[in-house]
Amino acid sequence: MEILIAAILTIITAATPLLFAALGEMVTEKSGVLNLGVEGMMVMGAVIGFIVVNATGSATLAVIASMLAGAIMAALFAVLVLLFHASQVPTGLALTIFGIGLSALVGQSMIGVAYDGIPKISIPLLASIPIIGDILFHQDALVYLSIIMVFAVMWFMNKTRAGLVVRAVGDSHDAAHALGYSVNKIRFLAILFGGAMSGIGGAYLSLAYSPLWVEEMTAGRGWIALALVVFASWRVSRVLLGAYLFGGITILQLHAQALGIGIPSQIMSMLPYLATILVLLIISRDRSKIKLNAPASLGKPFHVSR
Amino acid sequence: MLPRLIKRQAPSRAMVYLTPVLALLLTLISSIFLFWIMGVSPLAALHAFFIEPISSLYGITELAVKATPLILIGVALSLGFRAGVWNIGAEGQLILGGIFGGATALFFYEKTGFYIIPLILIMGVLGGMLWSGIVAFLKTRFNANEILTSLMLSYVAGLLLNLMVHGPLRDPDGMNFPESRLFSDSAILPILYEGTRLHLGAMIALLAVGIGWIILSRTLLGYQIKVMGDAPAAGEYAGFSQSKIIWITLLISGGVAGLAGAIEVSGPIGQLLPTISPGYGFTAIIVAYIGRLHPLGVLFAALLLALTYLGGETAQMKLSLPVAVTGVFQGLLLFFLLASDVLIQYRIRFGKQVVMT
Amino acid sequence: MTQSSPYLLELTGMCKAFPGVIAADEVDLKIRAGEVHALLGENGAGKSTLVKMIYGILEPDDGEIRFNGKVVTIKSPAHARELGIAMVFQHFSLFDSLTVVENISLGMDSGSDLKALAAQITDVSQRYGLPLDPHRHVYTLSVGERQRIEIIRCLLQNPKLLIMDEPTSVLTPQEVQKLFVTLKRLSQEGLAILYISHKLDEIKALCHDATILRLGKKIATVSVENETTASLAAMMMGEELKAFTHADKVNNGAVRLEARNLNVKATDPLGISLKKINLEVHAGEVVGIAGVAGNGQDELLTALNGENISQIADSILIAAMPVGKLGPNQRRKLGLASVPEKRLGHGAMPDMSLVENAFLTAYERLGFIKNGLINFRKTKAYAKNVIDDYAVKTPSSDVPAMSLSGGNLQKFIIGRELKQNPGILIVSQPTWGVDAGAAQTIREAIRAMAANGAAVLVISQDLDELMEITDRIGAICGGELSKFYPVDNITIEKIGLLMAGVTDAEDMDKKSAA
């Protein structure tokens, strides 16, 4: 039983950074923009969050700082893509390369520094429920926030006019422009949101998941988040499912050794990446489904034609 | 009074050659600022970065050594990128080539013969092709996005190399260090110039530039690649097979990356280690772009970016600058290039627009 | 018809210039409430520019606009809507993945109560005979239904003036009649309608007055019932309409292109599947296929030219040889050439030069590859030939295809195919968006091909064009082909029925009697 609870807790902590990043990228993509820089934004969030928490002792400030870091990185991307008409794929790659490099530079002094991790919050009464209480109601603030964000994004996209406009822009930027909507402004905001969320996702890694800083500590999670958005067919509920499925794969990796399975650790570490490939090919092979669910203007450059 | 962007009648050919230069200038200016913030004399830093590494003959040969894998992979990637096939996992394909080539070298450890080196290189190509072939298969058969699959495989490749040097390929006399034996002499690439590390691989790289140029500009394959990148439906109309081009470009870029990996392990490194590349596969992406996806441009861009690697090492030694500055520099260069490219399609005009709203 | 005396909209001396062209030159226009006023003119006459100024998209260089007696400056479409001016564009601004009510809500200036809006939509749609279900997703709707969304969106804002830009180019003749019933009803209720078109029959049927534009100038304002289509055409074109002589068909050659029971499943979830296609094109004849866009025309072309290979070898035959499983280049070797509907992106590569574009379909037939390498000199010579023979306006053959105007690019593409002397030619929408002069060149070239013995298939939305240049004509609807009839024995009305899916001759006679 103890092992089961430990396993479920691992799933939650492994899923949370993916959930943040994938939610953010999904909103960006819903507006029609493909931002491949998630890895770069996440790793910047991780390093900035770690620096701030060590400098100020406040986890809250650290989270806010990581959001800002992610958003600023995203803004760089937005300026290039929206204002300078740069192609989205190489610009996203540039953001990743730049983010990884910058975070390594900025985090030089943080290597080896220790941190206890952000405290868990117990919800009174509910946390005393045996078993479930420990799992569901005794988590750190960011886990709760990630679940709140799932519902917030779902409500925003499907029940508000602003969400409808975002979906419209992602469906056809030409039609949206013809109707008088500012395509670039809406996309800019969607991109910033994606950046902020990626920043928090990265911060979760350095503040809670494995509280320390190591170069490139995101280890490809940003790319996995991108794959998750495809897997989820751009639907919020499926993003949640996907993130937790991946969390599940991670426990195989961490707990298999504890359970005495004799597979080399490197192979276990390969599991998340191999699983991502598997998930991609299962979802992508249904081309009609992709066509129906993917925002029609995703990745296409927007040129104002007079 | 913000400057406005007005679309040009036709893309400016002058700008195609000028924007990389502009991007370099802007990067230099930013790095002066960066060094200043870091409390290092900008002049000293720039000198350490750009001038010092190539101020000796040995330095120039080191430049060629570092540029070799960048040229090879850059040329190969630019073919695929032109077709719209985004192979981002060249790093992983390089690693597989290194594993295959290194394993071959270790297999023939006790033997000597002229056949060993060609065999190592061929195995390297096969290893890279195997890895990129998986990506091609997944894309053509399952419509899986090649950016994500090639990247995932990159991470897997790194772990695979780690596994190999900790296990099957580890030096039995090596005191349990995760390294392979040092390769025997007949498995090491011949040195072209006494006293330096300049090896045969550099010649192969130059050959690749020539071959790449011919393919791209004069063959039907090159034409098909360009058509697919510009208008895939026109390619269908002309009877070109998209999946054939995907396979060919991925196998070429994977094979060449694998070749580069085999060259690295049987050249400058001389054995298998947990890390056999400081990110050449990723830097080659930047090289391909700065080089305008053209083999000759790639050659120059590779030299420039190889210089940043050397410069980073020099700056670390002389000024204690962290090596991570290299990564920032490379990222900035790509950013500025992408921004400057706007000038190819658009003109900048200041002041209020005279025509209508 | 009763008309109230003050004019609702009065334009005086409207002027607008762009670099190189005067789009509006002192144009006057007057419309009363309840009037249906036609704005008539050829492509490029200045109709779009004029209405864009009324709708606030363009700022006039000079001139005065009076609305309801007051001088106004219309600053933006939102402002125009505030004044009571609504516009239905030729190209719809709709979002495929969203529902009808969501689409209309986005096009209106306020309100997010979708339930109330859905009720309003149902109400208006029933009242004016424009049936529409508010909760359907747009991608499931036909073109005619999509236009209803645009119209209802306008009507919900209670406009006083409704501008319609070429509304019937995407409708079958029967849908056109239904639209006219709606428009007449609206005009009786006091709505003024500014109806842009170049289709003279429709203007005679629908409009009270007409203003004719040519090259930016107002030629005349007339009362439609006092004019004939011929007199309107004369004012529009400014010259005698050249009578198009129908070359005598070369006497029935052998069947060169045939489709037998061809079935093609749609590859796209939003595409059309072709069902039981049976088609014969003889050497020396021009066969026409009419149809509203989106009924399988592109699918038919790609099935015939080999881009979409069939599973069954003898579903398509060239000179009685089964070619269903062959690809485009193999069919080219057998003499087939095709011109797709979409120019940039399908028939030509936008960023590549005209020389490179010339290579695209001609390299095997004309031998542009030697020893594995491309012979650019030969290719360039060919490109120059095409440019010269078809009067393609371009500074050189090295410019990218996208720098050419639509008409010139189409001339280039058609020239590239025709100069390869194919035995079979398939063309889709040959003169769509092309100016009158170039269109004439293209049509004559197509007829000349047939006169020289080629088998020609023309797929087009333009019924007048088809009547002009084809020998036999049929229609495609929902991926199915109708029977084909000699063009001398058929009327536009009958083709309209075929376009709407009536394939049985008996049914057809019954319907035309009804």
Nearest neighbour of B227 by CB, restricted to C340, C349, C399: C349
Give the DSSP per-residue string, C328-397. HHHHHHTTEEEE-S-TBTTTB-TTSBHHHHHHHHHTTTTT-EETTEE-HHHHHHHHHHHHHHTT---S-T
- Mean of all residue pLDDT scores within chain B: 90
Number of A to C CB contacts under 8 A, please give it. 51
Q: Do A86 and B338 count as a contact with CB atoms less than 8 A apart?
A: yes
B222 CA: distance to closest CA in chain C (Å): 10
Q: Is C270 on the interface with A (CB under 8 A)?
A: yes
Mutate to test the interface with B, among C74, C267, C323, C352 (most CBs of B within 10 A): C352
Q: Do C92 and A174 count as a contact with CB atoms less than 8 A apart?
A: no
From chain C, the residues in CB contact with B357 under 8 A are: 59
From chain B, the residues in CB contact with A280 under 8 A are: 138, 142, 144-145, 148-149
- Which residue ranges form the domains of chain A, and what is each CATH number? 2-293 (1.10.3470)
Structure token digits, residue C14:
């409207």
- DSSP label of B320: -
Q: What is the pLDDT of residue A260?
A: 67
Q: What is the pLDDT of residue B356?
A: 39
Q: Are A54 and A114 in contact (CB under 8 A)?
A: no
Q: Do A179 and C106 count as a contact with CB atoms less than 8 A apart?
A: yes
Nearest neighbour of A165 by CB, restricted to C93, C96, C106: C106
Strand B346-349, strand C21-32: pairing: unpaired
Residue B176 has pLDDT above 90, yes or no: no
Residue C40 has pLDDT above 90, yes or no: no
Nearest neighbour of B144 by CB, restricted to A84, A102, A280: A280
Q: What is the pLDDT of residue C247?
A: 53
Q: Are A41 and A202 in contact (CB under 8 A)?
A: yes
Q: Do C77 and A174 count as a contact with CB atoms less than 8 A apart?
A: no
Q: What are phi and psi of C316, to 5 degrees?
A: -135, 130
Tell me which chain C residue has its CA closest to the CA of residue B233.
C346
Q: Do C346 and B231 count as a contact with CB atoms less than 8 A apart?
A: yes
From chain B, the residues in CB contact with A287 under 8 A are: 143
Q: Do A273 and B86 count as a contact with CB atoms less than 8 A apart?
A: no
Q: Is A237 on the interface with B (CB under 8 A)?
A: no
Q: Is A162 on the interface with C (CB under 8 A)?
A: no
Residue B347 has pLDDT above 90, yes or no: no
User: Residues of B numbered 160-219 whose beta carbons fall under 8 angstroms of chain A's beta carbons: which are they?
Assistant: 160, 162-163, 166-167
Q: Are C306 and C259 in contact (CB under 8 A)?
A: no
Give the DSSP per-residue string, B110-146. T---TTHHHHHHHHHHHHHHHHHHHHHHHHHHH---H
What average pLDDT does the segment C485-505 reach? 76
Q: Is B147 on the interface with A (CB under 8 A)?
A: yes
Q: Is A291 on the interface with C (CB under 8 A)?
A: yes
List, in sequence order, the alpha helices (H) in chain B. 13-37, 42-46, 57-83, 90-107, 116-142, 146-166, 201-218, 220-230, 232-237, 242-264, 280-290, 295-319, 324-340, 342-345
Q: What is the pLDDT of residue C43?
A: 67
The region of weakest confidence among A214-218, B22-26, C171-175, C448-452 is: C171-175
Residue C159 has pLDDT above 50, yes or no: yes
Q: Cβ of C20: how many Cβ atoms within 10 Å?
A: 5
Q: Do C349 and B231 count as a contact with CB atoms less than 8 A apart?
A: yes
pTM of the model: 0.86
Q: How many residues are given for chain B?
A: 357
A209 CA: distance to closest CA in chain C (Å): 39
List C197's β-bridge partners, or say none: C40
Q: Do B286 and A97 count as a contact with CB atoms less than 8 A apart?
A: yes
Q: Do C400 and B11 count as a contact with CB atoms less than 8 A apart?
A: yes
Q: How does pLDDT run along chain A (306 residues), one tens digit per residue?
A: 677 777 788 889 899 999 999 999 999 999 999 999 999 999 999 999 999 998 998 889 999 999 999 999 999 999 999 999 998 999 999 999 999 999 999 998 888 888 877 777 777 777 677 767 767 777 788 999 999 999 999 999 999 999 999 999 999 999 998 888 999 999 999 999 999 999 999 999 999 888 888 888 998 999 999 999 988 989 999 999 999 998 888 777 777 666 666 788 888 889 889 999 998 888 888 877 777 788 988 888 887 653
Q: Is C106 on the interface with A (CB under 8 A)?
A: yes
Tell me which chain A residue has its CA closest to the CA of residue B281.
A97
Residue B355 has pLDDT above 50, yes or no: no
What are the tens digits of pLDDT across the range C238-286?
A: 654 444 555 555 556 889 999 999 999 887 766 788 989 999 999 999 9
Structure token digits, residue B303:
């030299």
Tell me which chain A residue has its CA closest to the CA of residue B160.
A266
- Mean of all residue pLDDT scores within chain C: 87
Mutate to test the interface with B, among C349, C396, C416 (most CBs of B within 10 A): C349
The region of weakest confidence among B195-199, C445-449, C456-460 is: B195-199
Q: Do A90 and B338 count as a contact with CB atoms less than 8 A apart?
A: yes
Tokens 């189409």 -> residue = C410
What is the ipTM, given to two decimal places? 0.87
The region of weakest confidence among A128-137, B94-103, B165-174, C359-368 is: A128-137
Residue C52 has pLDDT above 70, yes or no: yes
Residue C29 has pLDDT above 50, yes or no: yes
DSSP reduced 3-state for C307 = coil
User: Residues of B numbered 210-239 whose beta carbons fall under 8 angstroms of chain C's beta carbons: which are they?
Assistant: 218-220, 223, 226-227, 230-231, 233-234, 236-239
What are the tens digits of pLDDT across the range B245-287?
A: 999 999 999 999 999 999 999 999 999 999 999 899 999 999 9
Q: Do C106 and A168 count as a contact with CB atoms less than 8 A apart?
A: yes
